[in-house]
Amino acid sequence: MSLIVQKFGGSSVKDAERIKNVARIIAETYLKGNDVIVVLSAQGDTTDDLIAKAGEINPHASKREMDMLLSTGEQISVALCAMALEVMGLPVVSLAAWQVGIQSSGVHSDARIRRIDSERVQAELDQHRIVIVTGFQGVDRSGDVTTLGRGGSDTSAVALAAAFRADLCQIFTDVDGVYTTDPRLVPNARKLDEITYDEMLELASQGAQVLHNRSVELAKKFKVNLEVVSSLERKPGTKVKEVTKMMEKTNIAGVAKDTSIARIALVGLQHNPGVAFQVFDLLSKHNINVDVILQSIGREETKDITFTIHKKDQEEAETILNEHRAALRFDHIEADDKIGKVSIVGAGLMSNCGVAAKMFEALYEAGINIQMINTSEIRVSVLLDEEDVNRAVKAIHAKFFDEI
C-alpha cells in the first residue's frame, strides 16, 4: 500500500463533469488499495472572478480581506469533489487548510507554509477515508487565513507529500506534462519524459506556469517523487527528479517567458558604499522580491540602479522609494511595465559556451532588441519589450529544437 498525493488544478475541476472525472481518478487510485490525499484548486476562473468582484467594491482592499475572499474558491471545490465521491459510495472527508493545520507565515497573498500538523489527516487516513484538502492556503499564528500566491496549490500538494512522506505526488493539469516551452504558444514544443528539480525550478521561476516554483523548491528539499500528468488523458507525464538519464546534455531543457514583471530604475544615486544595501533592504522589509539587478556607473559621481519586480508590487515599490528619496538621494525614478523576460534553462548550459550565443543569434535574426541580460549556472535570461516576448520564445525555441 502506498500513500499518494494527487493535486488537480482549476481547469481539471472547472464544472460538474470535470469534478466527476477527477472523482473517478481518485476512486481508481483508492480502490487499488492506496491511501489518498487530494489537493484541489478553485474551479476554472473562480480566483480571477473573485478578484474582479473585490475590485467592484474596493480596488485597494486590504490583503487580509482579499485572502478571506480568495480562500473560498478552494473550499467550494473540495466540498463538491467530496460529494462526487460520496455518490460513488466511497469514504471521504474534505478539509480546509485551517482544519488540517497547515500553518503559514502571516504575509497575506504571499504566505509560506511553516509546518503541517499531521494528527487530523492521519486520523482520517487511519479510518481509510480519502482526504481532500484546499490548496493555496494556510493559517497564520493569529488564526487568520493566508494564501500562498497565485498557482500556490501545487505548493500545498508538495508540502503535504513531504509532511506525510508520500510515495508519489501527482500534479494533474490540462497538459500532459512539462514541455520544452508552453505548448499553447509553440504547438510543436516537445514533451519531456523527465526533468531535474533544478531545471524545473528555473523554468517555473522564469514563468513556466505548469508548476508553482516553490512546489519544486520543496520537492527538491524533501526529495518528493513528483510527476506532472494530464487529468483528461491517461498517458505518462513528466517526472521531476534529482538526476535524469541524459546527464551530459548538450541541448537546453526549455524556454520560459514572464510578462508579469516591471522594471524600475533609480537614476542619479550617490556613488557611495551602502547605497545598494539601503535600497534593497528597504524593499525586502516590505516583502517586495527583486529579480534582475543592474548597476551602471552614471555621470558625475552618480550611478543608476535598475531592477525588476513583479507588476503587482510596482505601485508600492515606487511609493516607498519616493518616500525615502531624501535619504536615498536619487534624482528620479523611471518605471516601465511594458517589458517581459525570456529565459533558456539547461543543466549543462554554462559549460557549453555556444549556448548563450545561439540564443542571442536567434534574437538578432528576429530583429529583437535586448534590454538587459542576466545569467545563473543553468539559465540565461533576457529582458525585452513586452510586445517582442512571444516572437522571441518562438524564435529561440526554433533555433534550439527545430534543427535537431
Residue type, 346: G
DSSP letter string, 15-61 = SHHHHHHHHHHHHHHHHTT-EEEEEEPPSTTHHHHHHHHHHHH-TT-
CA atoms within 13 A on the CB side of 345: 25
Tell the smallest beta-carbon distance from residue 73 to ligand ADP (Å): 12
If you search the block for the grid coordinates 545598494, which residue do you land on? 276
Q: Minimum Å distance from CB 152 to ligand ASP? A: 5
- Report in angstroms how near the CB of residue 55 gets to ligand ADP at its nearest: 22
4 to 43: interface string for ligand ASP, x by CB under 6 A: -----xx------------------------------xx-
Nearest residue (CB) to Mg ion, 70 versus 392: 70
The DSSP 8-state label assigned to residue 10 in this structure reads G
Kindly indicate which of the ranges 27-35, 44-52, 146-154, 318-326 contains the residues binding Mg ion, using the contact rule CB under 5 A.
146-154
- Minimum distance from residue 12 beta carbon to ligand ADP (Å): 6
- Give me the residues that bind ligand ADP (CB under 6 A), please: 9-12, 41, 151, 173-175, 178-179, 181-184, 208-210, 254
State the cell numbers at 29: 487510485
In the complex, minimum distance from the CB of residue 360 to ligand ADP, in angstroms, rounded to a whole number = 22
Taking the least distance from each CB to ligand ADP, the nearer of 188 and 270 is 188
- 171 - beta bridge partners? 7, 228
Look at residue 181 and give the partner it binds from Mg ion, ligand ASP, ligand ADP, none, a contact being a CB closer than 5 to 8 Å depending on partner kind: ligand ADP
Total residues contacting ligand ASP (rule CB under 6 A)? 12
Which amino acid belongs to residue 21? Answer: N
200 to 180, 183, 191, 279: CA distances (angstroms): 11, 16, 13, 31
Q: Residue 215 phi/psi, 5° resolution?
A: -70, -35
Residue 402, phi then psi, degrees to nearest 5:
-80, -20
Beta strands in 150-247 (DSSP E): 168-173, 194-196, 226-230, 238-241
Cβ proximity to ligand ADP, 34 vs 170, nearer residue = 170
Q: At a CB cut-off of 8 Å and minimum separation 6, what does 78 contact? A: 38, 40, 94, 95, 96, 132, 133, 134
**Among ligand ASP, ligand ADP, Mg ion, none, residue 135 binds (CB under 5-8 Å by kind):** ligand ASP
Q: Which is nearer to ligand ADP, 84 or 178 (CB)?
A: 178
Please identify which residue in 44, 151, 177, 346 interacts with Mg ion, judged by CB under 5 A.
151
Burial class (CB in 10 A: 0-12, 13-18, 19+), 374: middle
State the binding partner of 73 from ligand ADP, Mg ion, ligand ASP, none, CB within 5 to 8 A by kind.
Answer: ligand ASP
Residue 73 interacts with Mg ion (CB under 5 A): yes or no: no
Q: What is the largest CA-CA distance in the chain?
A: 77
Which residue's CB is nearer to ligand ASP, number 150 or number 324?
A: 150
User: Is the separation of the CB atoms in 342 and 388 below 8 Å?
Assistant: no
Residue 296 CB, nearest distance to ligand ASP (Å)? 36
* Cβ atoms 145, 67 nearer than 8 A: yes
Site string for ligand ASP, 122-161 (x = CB under 6 A): -------------xx-------------xxxx--------
Nearer to ligand ASP, 136 or 401 (CB): 136
Can you read off the three cell numbers belonging to residue 209?
506556469
- Site residues (CB under 6 A) for ligand ASP, limited to 68-97: 73
Residue nearest to ligand ADP (CB): 9
> The C-alpha cell of 187 is what?
504547438
208 binds, among ligand ADP, ligand ASP, Mg ion, none (CB under 5 to 8 A by kind): ligand ADP
8 SS3 class? strand
CA angle 231, 14, 42 (to 5 degrees): 100
Which of these ranges, 151-159, 230-238, 296-304, 352-360, lies near Mg ion under the rule CB under 5 A?
A: 151-159
Q: Which of 172, 177, 186 is nearest to 12 (CA)?
A: 172
Binding site for Mg ion (CB under 5 A): 9, 151
Binding-site ranges for ligand ASP (CB under 6 A): 9-10, 41-42, 47, 73, 135-136, 150-153
